[in-house]
Amino acid sequence: MKERWEFTPHHPGLVETSADVWKHRGLLHLIATRAFQRIYRRTVLGWLWLVINPLLPLAIRVIVFGALLGVGSNGLPYFLFLLGGSIAWDLFSATLMRGTRALEMHGELSDLIYYPRAILPVGNLAPALVELAIKLGVFVVALAYYALHDGRFYVRSDAALLWGLGALVLAMLFALAISLFTSVWGEGTRDMRFAISQVTGVWYLLTPVLYPLSQVPEQYRAWIVWNPMAVIVETFKWGVFGVGAFDAPLFAWTAAAVGVLLLAGLVFFTRAEARMFDAR
Amino acid sequence: MTTAGSDPRPSPGPVAWVISAERHDGVLARVREVWQYRRILSFFAVRAVQSLYRKTYLGAWWLFIRTLVPLLIAAFVFGEVINVPSGNVPYLVFFLAGQLPWNFFDGPLVRASRAIDSNRQLLTKLYIPRIVLPLGQMTAGVVEPVIIAAILAVTLVYYRWADGVWYVQAEPRVAAAFAAVFVILWFAFAASLFTSVWQGRARDMRYVLRHVVGFWVFLTPVAYPASAVPVGYRWLIYLNPMTAPVETFKWAVLPGEEHSWPWFLYTVAVTVVLFGSGLWYFARSEGATMDKL
């Protein structure tokens, strides 16, 4: 019997890649474990950094911006205000950072086995989700404290909470969409990682997390809504606390834009995947 | 050192390895060594500066943009949104005049602290006086404040044109600004003698340093004037050794600022003590640290 081998380039489409990712879902565990190890390998305090890293900056900012500079907070305790904004923002920035570094961090894994690359940005998210869970835990404790202390429950208890949840999911999808591009551009170099940390630093200041949108001078406020993260964070705070600006059509537009970007990112990523294999 | 470990054959018996190098101990010998190895020092300095912009598309422009854009946006948020007071000058001028001395501390310290950790590969292979590494890495941190100085100069010219006023001193006391920068750089180097060793031993230091520096900038009157702190607490903020040189710098450059020479001398004293103990600590622990790399 004669065997025939034929080698041709294979360019999987969007659907095939998605199916492939699902088939390799067992790998997610491995990638997530590696992502965690990366945080506390060679450190003395170990996994404690997973808790300290997100919470310490929060404490510092509460002291500086809430207590020292007396920044406004829409009538909420500043700690709750900042924590709420940070939950949405940090999910975005952590997802973006980890998604961007996914290919660079697990590059050597690709030399050994085959798997769809698209699984990397997803698996690399795990520490971001754990950080989110830690912050949510602190949030619940803080709510209980303020309920006892002020006799007031600052979180809404109606269907509007769903808007908050929607905003949270949108923040993550938005970061994932961007990282589908940036991870490909940054594969093999560390430049992209530095550029991303620079950009997120600036972006953070332009997003109403530290301060309420209402404190931005009137003439600039029209500009700041062009920042999708401003819309997302404000919607999140409106959904959770019932304070701040909420504009349903604007949020819908933002969601649509994120959807388009995500699709474009997936197409871009799957196209680039085949090319990257050859380059290695 | 790794020779015994990497030999796959079973050891024939108790073999003692004695590896020795002629080297004088003590702090003074270390300092003399730096002079002997000064060409390596300049090599490290050049390499550290190049690493800032090499392999980027925009080259040296990237450095400029990376410094300018965050500063402008931070100045907008602090000045326009949060409305931090800034004395008699526009907030942008005030902010840049604070960021300039601060960046002589921040960048050099963070970079010098990485010196041992990021040169692991090199240090395990050849001998160089280790103290050269933080010194060389520090040089890269000086680039950024120099760029900020250029931005400040352009801003001053802009306000001369827009407001018709020079928001800057043209008096002999401007010389005090150089003294302040010198003390700050010295302080950063003294601190890095400790932090670079710690970071070589444990990665934690990278996180610790990031949090510490991120907090320290707010404990120092960089984005706000020291006069915004309630009078009762002002001595507390001056206990921070970075406060006095930053205030002196602003006093030397901007009109209508206040500062205090006694507190400046306090910072100098702290720096001298830190530097002395740092040299001693670095010389004492470099050997032990190298073995654990």
pLDDT per residue over A243-271, tens digit each? 877 788 888 999 999 999 999 998 888 88
Residue A172 forms part of a structural domain: yes
Confidence of residue B11 (pLDDT cuts 50, 70, 90): low
| Secondary structure class of B169 (helix, strand, coil) | coil
Is A191 in Cβ contact with B77 (below 8 Å)? no
The answer to whether residues A251 and A235 touch, using CB atoms and an 8 Å cutoff, is yes
| Secondary structure class of B58 (helix, strand, coil) | coil
Read off the pLDDT of residues B49-87 as tens digits, 9 standing for 90 and up: 887 777 667 777 878 888 888 899 889 888 888 878 877
Domain that holds residue B154: 25-285
Question: Which of A41, A53, A215 shows the shortest C-beta gap to B81?
Answer: A215
- C-alpha closest to that of A224 among B76, B199, B287: B76
Question: Which of A52, A68, A202 shows the shortest C-beta gap to B69?
Answer: A202
Put simply, whether A217 touches B (Cβ < 8 Å) is yes
Tokens of A36: 């965690």
Put simply, whether B292 touches A (Cβ < 8 Å) is no
Task: State yes or no: pLDDT of A123 exceeds 70.
Answer: yes
- C-alpha closest to that of B167 among B223, B103, B228, B94: B94
Mean pLDDT, rounded, for A101-117: 76
Q: Which long-range contacts (C-beta less than 8 Å, at least 24 apart) are formed by A29-33?
A: A30/A123, A31/A106, A31/A109, A31/A119, A31/A120, A31/A123, A31/A124, A31/A126, A32/A123, A32/A124, A32/A125, A32/A126, A32/A127
Q: Which residue has the tokens 């301060």?
A: A211
Residue B135 forms part of a structural domain: yes
CA-CA-CA-CA torsion sign (A268, A195, A83, B78):
negative
Integer angstrom CA distances of residue A46 from B118, B204, B212: 20, 8, 18
Which B residues, 177 through 206, put their C-beta within 8 Å of a C-beta on chain A? 202-204
- State the Cα–Cα distance between residues A51 and A7, nearest whole angstrom: 49
Tokens of B95: 């902010």
Residue B89 distance to chain A (closest CA, Å) = 19
- State the Cα–Cα distance between residues A85 and A18, nearest whole angstrom: 32
CA-CA-CA-CA torsion sign (B48, B51, B52, B58):
positive
Percent of chain A with pLDDT over 90: 22
Question: Which of A53, A64, A65 shows the shortest C-beta gap to B207?
Answer: A53
Read off the pLDDT of residues B132-158 as tens digits, 9 standing for 90 and up: 888 888 888 888 899 999 999 999 999
Domain that holds residue A262: 14-279
Put simply, whether A220 touches B (Cβ < 8 Å) is yes
Q: Please give the distance of CA B266 from its chain centroid, rounded to a whole number.
A: 19
Average pLDDT taken over every residue of chain A = 84
Task: State yes or no: pLDDT of B5 exceeds 50.
Answer: no
Task: State yes or no: pLDDT of B179 exceeds 50.
Answer: yes
Put simply, whether B72 touches A (Cβ < 8 Å) is no
Read off the pLDDT of residues A181-190 as tens digits, 9 standing for 90 and up: 998 887 766 6
Put simply, whether A219 touches B (Cβ < 8 Å) is no
Is B77 in Cβ contact with A211 (below 8 Å)? yes
Number of domains in chain B: 1
Residue A114 forms part of a structural domain: yes
Number of domains in chain A: 1
Per CB-CB distance under 8 Å, the chain A contacts of B80 are 216-217, 220
Q: Please give the distance of CA B134 from its chain centroid, rounded to a whole number.
A: 10
Cα-based angle B47, B50, B55 (whole degrees, multiple of 5): 125
Q: What is the 3-state secondary structure (H, E, C) of A84-106?
A: HHHHHHHHHHHHHHHHHHHHHHC
Mean pLDDT, rounded, for A66-89: 86
Per CB-CB distance under 8 Å, the chain A contacts of B293 are none
Percent of chain B with pLDDT over 70: 89
Task: State yes or no: pLDDT of A32 exceeds 70.
Answer: yes
Residue A179 forms part of a structural domain: yes
Percent of chain B with pLDDT over 90: 24
Residue B43 forms part of a structural domain: yes
Per CB-CB distance under 8 Å, the chain A contacts of B215 are 60, 64
Confidence of residue A156 (pLDDT cuts 50, 70, 90): confident
Please tell me which residue of chain B has the smallest CA distance to A189: B55
- State the Cα–Cα distance between residues A146 and A164, nearest whole angstrom: 20
- State the Cα–Cα distance between residues A61 and A59, nearest whole angstrom: 5
The answer to whether residues B265 and B241 touch, using CB atoms and an 8 Å cutoff, is no
Buried b (16+ CB within 10 A) or exposed e, B191-206: bbbbbbbbbbbbbbbb
- At B58, which amino acid appears? L
